[in-house]
Chains A and B, each alone.
Chain A
């Protein structure tokens, strides 16, 4: 098997796992505080059941795969690390206005980046992703102190976030080849429309 096949297999596995976990019934809303959160399961299903988080993190993986090279892993590595900064801001209670708007804009921007197959310099892509990671981390961090088991909650949602990234990478690597990558670009367009919906709604 080639490296590409391995990555496809990993992506397919992540996709299947993510899809199965998405079947767990829960309210389809992501933030901000809905009351006491639980442990690993609650943290794990949090990004998966909030379509806005899911779309943004999926788009990060998709975009990284579309760019190829180092961004395949540098984007998914940077996202959770910067997300922590936003999470700390949320924990401390630093006011960050328009977080929900920022999350919706992140979906639109990342979707558009995939749609137009934007290939900026790596540092620009990392900066681009980091700005939005702050918003997503803030929303999670605001909830973390209220979790019944913060350790397991943090593990759950970071692992789920990573699986969504892997899922995006896998799908991106698969869709990048047929039709000259247009399928991948079309998926980016769908994601951007989803972001537009969140912005309006």
Chain B
């Protein structure tokens, strides 16, 4: 019982430790896979929905949690096999290409709704959310693959995701208390809020600022004639009628 209870925290500590080691390494020496783990696989936007899903799986009976994990794996498989279809579907949304095809808000809202749901419904919603999260995780992993073809990247992404699900799920389950449903609902509200807000920011373009009226031509400043432009440098001017006492013009 003790081993089962502490296996989750052990996995969490191991995962965080590996991540810290990777982060502390010189980026030039990380290599492609390690660099991708730091920048993409372990990014907050990738992990947060998985943490929510894991927390939800810990609040349902163990059989449903295992079913959720199996359905998540099926979702990953589905996402990788039907990548083109999913990309075409999600790509129809405005701004999809620049927002990772909305994989983050979709999985975030799905996980959040499971956490927010009443206990009786939660266990039935979990597989559906797991399927969605698995499919969009596959999409996100494929489209952020820096090598474009290396299967190791995809496998690494799936391993990180499953590790997160299992580690967090076991940890929460091992220390579960009746009042856990309170922070679970609060976490669910965060996930829904984050997903909707991010999706809204991406989908709803801010209206352009109203154009300023065309500038009115202002009255031109008086420009002195060229000979008066630099009065200090110009030769002294004489009035043509400025004659001397003898009636002759002064030289």
- Report A's interface with B, CB cutoff 8 A: 3, 6-7, 10, 40, 72-73, 76-81, 83-84, 87-88, 91-93, 140-141, 144-145, 147, 150-152, 154-156, 158-159, 161-162, 165-166
- Asked if B206 contacts A151 (CB within 8 A), the reply is no
Interface-centre pick from A81, A152, A154, A159 (highest chain B CB count, 10 A): A154
Indicate whether B182 reaches chain A with its CB closer than 8 angstroms: yes
Indicate whether B204 reaches chain A with its CB closer than 8 angstroms: yes
**B193 contact from A6, A73, A83, A151, Cβ within 8 A:** A83
Taking the nearest CB of chain B, how far is it from the CB of A169, in angstroms? 9
- Asked if A154 contacts B197 (CB within 8 A), the reply is yes
User: Which residues of chain A come closer than 8 Å to B200, judged between CB atoms?
Assistant: 84, 87-88, 91, 141
A-B contact count (CB 8 A): 94
User: Which residues of chain B come closer than 8 Å to A141, judged between CB atoms?
Assistant: 197, 200-201
**A91 contact from B48, B183, B186, B201, Cβ within 8 A:** B201
- Asked if B186 contacts A84 (CB within 8 A), the reply is no
Q: State the majority secondary structure of interface residues on A.
A: helix
- Asked if A152 contacts B179 (CB within 8 A), the reply is no
Indicate whether B192 reaches chain A with its CB closer than 8 angstroms: yes
**A6 contact from B177, B187, B196, Cβ within 8 A:** B177
In the complex, which residues 170-215 of chain B have their Cβ closer than 8 Å to any Cβ of chain A?
A: 177-179, 182-183, 185-190, 192-194, 196-198, 200-202, 204, 206-207
Question: Number of B residues contacting the other chain (C-beta, 8 Å)?
Answer: 31
User: Which residues of chain B come closer than 8 Å to A10, judged between CB atoms?
Assistant: 183
Q: Which A-chain residue is minimally distant from B177 (CB atoms)? A: A6
Known: A3-B177, A91-B206, A152-B44. A73 touches B186 (CB 8 A): yes
- Asked if A92 contacts B207 (CB within 8 A), the reply is yes
- A155–B43 CA distance with the chains assembled, in angstroms: 11
Taking the nearest CB of chain B, how far is it from the CB of A12, in angstroms? 14
Interface-centre pick from B48, B177, B200 (highest chain A CB count, 10 A): B200
- A151–B201 CA distance with the chains assembled, in angstroms: 9
- A166–B207 CA distance with the chains assembled, in angstroms: 36
- Asked if B185 contacts A73 (CB within 8 A), the reply is yes
- Asked if A151 contacts B104 (CB within 8 A), the reply is yes
Q: Which A-chain residue is minimally distant from B180 (CB atoms)? A: A6
